[in-house]
Amino acid sequence: MSERNTLIRSLHDLGLAAWFGGSLMGAVGLNGAARDEAATLTAADRIASSGWAKWTPVNAAAIGAHLFGGGGLLAVNAHRVATQQGVAASTTAKTVVTAAALAATAWARALGKKVELASSSDPEDAQQAARNPVDLEKTKRQLAYAQWAVPALTGCLVVLNALHGEQQRPAEQVPGMWERARHALPHG
């Protein structure tokens, strides 16, 4: 009933772990340390922006690994999604939450780039920021929400992943498939 899918499961889980953990550490540790150690708000913005910019390529790789692994898991478990009671619903929920986490991540990066440009000491960045002015306080508030939304949403994915693991137990598969088949019969 079950087969090993260690590589794709590892990509899925390690990618999600890095996405969740990195976003939580950034929101708590990086942003907090920047506020605590910087002499001015602009300096705090520069420090936090620098840290988040360094994390961006690692985060992109983590998200890519998670999505690749998730697609692989969906492919190898398609029969369970189609036949086991509850698996399609949890897969749909996981897909919706993943899309929301991706959107929050993209939104946070776009807002972070605006703050980065507005607080930069580089003359070229200052010129670009002048050409595209933003309400910095509003942007920073939105950025804070987005940066907290990412670990909240990816934390939900960790919980949904645990649910999927429970649904994959042999003791869950047979009754779940029987229940789905029973409901498909005309007089269920």
CB 128 within 8 A of CB 82: no
**Residue 172's pLDDT is what?**
61
The structural domains of the chain, with segments of one domain joined by +, span 6-182
User: Going residue by residue through the chain (188 aa), what tens digit of pLDDT does each one get?
Assistant: 457 899 999 999 999 999 999 999 999 999 999 999 999 999 999 999 999 999 999 999 999 999 999 999 999 999 989 988 889 999 999 999 999 999 999 999 999 999 998 887 777 777 777 787 889 899 999 999 999 999 999 999 999 999 988 888 776 655 655 666 677 667 65
Q: What is the DSSP string of 55-95?
A: HHHHHHHHHHHHHHHHHHHHHHTHHHHHHSTTHHHHHHHHH
**Residue 149's pLDDT is what?**
98
Q: Which value, in Å, is the radius of gyration of the alpha carbons in the chain?
A: 21
- Output the six-digit token pair for 182: 């029973």
* CB atoms inside a 10 Å sphere around CB 3: 6
